[in-house]
Amino acid sequence: MLDIPSDLLSDLDPAQRDAVRATSGPVCILAGAGTGKTRAISRRVAYALETGVVAPSHVLVVTFTDKAATEMRERLAALGRTGVTAATFHAAALRQLRHFWPRVSGGELPTILESKVAMLVDLARALPGGYRYVAVRDLAGEIEWAKARRVGPTRYEEATEADGHDGPLPARLFAPLYSRYEAAKERAGRIDFEDMLELTIRLIEDDAAAADEIRARYRWFSVDEYQDTNTLQQALLDAWLGGREDLAVVGDEDQTIYTFTGASSEWLTGFTRRYPAAHVVRLETNYRSTPQVLDVANRLLAGAPRVGGGPPKRLLPTRPDGPPPIIRQFADGGDEETAIATETRRLIDTGVPAEQIAVLVRTNAQLVGFEAAFRAARVAFQLRGERFFARPEIRRALDAVRSARRGRSATKDDAQADDDTPAAPLTDRLTAIWAAALDFRPDVVPPGEEARQRHAALGTLLDIGRRCQTEDSTAGLDDFLAEVDRRSADEAGGATGVGVELLTYHRAKGLEWDAVFLPALEEGILPIRQATDPAEIDEERRLLYVGITRARVHLWLSSARVRDGRSTQRRRSRFLLEVVPVGVHSRGDQAADARISGRGGTGGHRAGPTGGADAAGSPLFEALRAWRLERARADAVPPYVIFHDTTLAAIAERRPRSLADLAGIPGIGPTKLDRYGEELISVVVRAG
Ligand code: ATP
Ligand code: MG
């Protein structure tokens, strides 16, 4: 146990110490990933307790997840400090509501509505014709959009207009639906997640006695991951504070990844405007990752647009050198999954604990392929988050297959026909069943985020069928169901064990591992297909930044040329092309690991591998040739099929910075523009 304040400071750097010693008034710690922000705020709490600035019961530390709250309490307990409240906004609000509700309203607190969907199903049926089939989860998402901004049904139309926001329904239809949802919820005596915060705010605003009591209890506040705070959470924080200023916020605007829930890093960046007296601390040294990992993170950051046009932020390394990050491109998504499982086995054999390894993906549906690959490689894994086979649409899809199967064996003629005539291929049968039962069409992606996710999940399920079919062209519905049962049982087992962690970027926030795998870095996956406007693309970039900066030592970035049994060629993510120096990335499937060599000083550029003088001579021309060579290898075509030297020379001369510029160059038609345009521009831009 640490008992004198100097011990609480001895393993901190001067900037962290400065933050810890600032125990009163507004404090704002603005710093990049892995710089010890979370360490600094937990230490600051301990230090304030130690020096008698505040009593434990008066402290409220707000964290982003329950897991982070538990970790915060553990960190404090390790420092010999207990009695502090560490909770998410929701957990803290709920506790206060429970306490005050009976007194204020004379009854028990209404029960919490775990999901809005059930309540919305009936209401959605009453929508006019064409809108009746809008995904109910998208309607729920829209209500959340509004509530995170404290926009009620009456202000909804006006707010969407002001925001230029497009919901799943026209605003004039959505507003009455929203209002009916609120009424139905009230009649049912339920409250939803946002209500917990909203009602706590109103309690404090409307009931002076409750406000006094709550404010007397909590006097000293800290908020971690403050860049992801939304308007509703901020309003609650303001209500708790009641004008007082003992607030420390900690965040990194480059890690804002929840804007889709209404979060805005402007609360963080605008902190000093709201609190001109704030003590601002910037941490610059990264304690988490090797210089090699940080080099990749810094390259990605260098490409991010900067508010106010300042110089790009950089993370400064302190850790010793580690292995160069591994960059690979695979012929197929299945190969990629297998290679990752194999590599984790190798790492485990060299002494990296399995739970110190993570695979991060963009969407939950991507996890199922890894479950299978890890099982096949006999590597223990644990799923963090939603289980694929427990998803409602997957269960419905499997129920439909089971009843189609039963229907067949019940009809003797059919069974007979099944035996005598060669059955249609498994994937065709599955597609037909799901088309009838779920209106699923593999190539028609429905609008709306939730609907798209469901579509992707069914696509993944169809891919399992495709794999059965590849192994055995006569595979039938029974084989498919047996395979699914096996995988589902594995998943249930994998969900509880210890082992390599499989999770989404969103859940990886604040965490760290020795080894981090980032697969499927492809256009359409990361950045995700529905990210189209610049703000959405920026958020995708920040997600990757969060992913890269989770790694302490080993980092793996990979992509595949085709996946999910389709023939469409996939393009590497624009972000991958940014972080990998030209000419240094993968040489195709059989390639030995293509690694980023050296540490690269400024996230800058490296010449192509040949470096020799050429007819056209310029460094850009060389960089373009290096790109062409690499692309030719990746696509298994001769380089001249991609572009002739004369075209490359013309590009080197004109230095196009946009697709429009590029289109004006002879030798670049629409097909080539589409296929190579973005990569070419990125080569030109990087060459400066
Ligand atoms: P993120 O932005 O990802 O939330 P963070 O800024 O909160 O990161 P921490 O998780 O607090 O960073 O710290 C990152 C790692 O560096 C942890 O393993 C932590 O123990 C270690 N660390 C922090 N400060 C120091 C220090 N002064 N000396 C040595 N190690 C440190
Ligand atoms: Mg942190």
Res 411 pLDDT > 50 = no
Residues paired with 30 in a beta bridge = 251, 282
What is the rounded distance in angstroms from the CA atom of residue 264 to the CA atom of residue 292?
Answer: 30
Per-residue pLDDT band for 1 (boundaries 50, 70, 90) equals very low
Task: Determine the residue of 38, 64, 316, 552 to mutate for testing ligand 1's pocket, defined as the one with the most ligand atoms within 8 A of the Cβ atom.
Answer: 38
287 lines ligand 1 (CB under 6 A): yes
Phi-psi region of 52 (alpha: psi -120 to 50; beta: other; left: phi over 0): left
Ligand 1: which atom is nearest the Cα of residue 16? 27
Chain-centre distance of CA 138, in angstroms? 19
Which strands, in side-by-side order, build the sheet including 27-31?
Answer: 85-87, 59-62, 220-223, 247-251, 27-31, 279-283
CA–centroid distance, residue 14 to ligand 1 (Å): 14
Joined together, the tokens standing for residue 327 give 């960059």
The one-letter amino acid at 262: G
Ligand 1: which atom is nearest the Cα of residue 40? 11
Angle between helices 449-471 and 392-410 (to 10 degrees): 50
Res 277 pLDDT > 50 = yes
CA–centroid distance, residue 57 to ligand 1 (Å): 26
pTM: 0.76
* CA angle 516–517–521, rounded 5-degree value: 135
Task: Determine the residue of 65, 282, 287 to mutate for testing ligand 1's pocket, defined as the one with the most ligand atoms within 8 A of the Cβ atom.
Answer: 287
44 lines ligand 1 (CB under 6 A): no
* For the CA of 281, the nearest ligand: 1
Rounded mean pLDDT, 294-316: 80
39 lines ligand 1 (CB under 6 A): yes
11 lines ligand 1 (CB under 6 A): yes
286 lines ligand 1 (CB under 6 A): no
Res 604 pLDDT > 50 = no
Angle between helices 449-471 and 477-494 (to 10 degrees): 120
Between residues 495 and 84, the one the model is more confident about: 84
Per-residue pLDDT band for 31 (boundaries 50, 70, 90) equals very high
Tabulate helix, strand, coil % of the chain (nearest 5).
Answer: 55, 10, 35
Look at 78-82, 183-187, 528-532, 630-634 and tell me which has the smallest mean pLDDT: 630-634
251 lines ligand 1 (CB under 6 A): no
Ligand 1: which atom is nearest the Cα of residue 287? 16
CA–centroid distance, residue 161 to ligand 2 (Å): 36
37 lines ligand 1 (CB under 6 A): yes
What is the rounded distance in angstroms from the CA atom of residue 145 to the CA atom of residue 194?
Answer: 10
CA–centroid distance, residue 13 to ligand 1 (Å): 11
For the chain, which domains are there?
Answer: 5-93+201-287 (3.40.50.300), 114-191 (1.10.10), 316-362+500-597 (3.40.50.300), 390-489 (no CATH), 619-687 (1.10.150.80)
Ligand 1: which atom is nearest the Cα of residue 32? 2
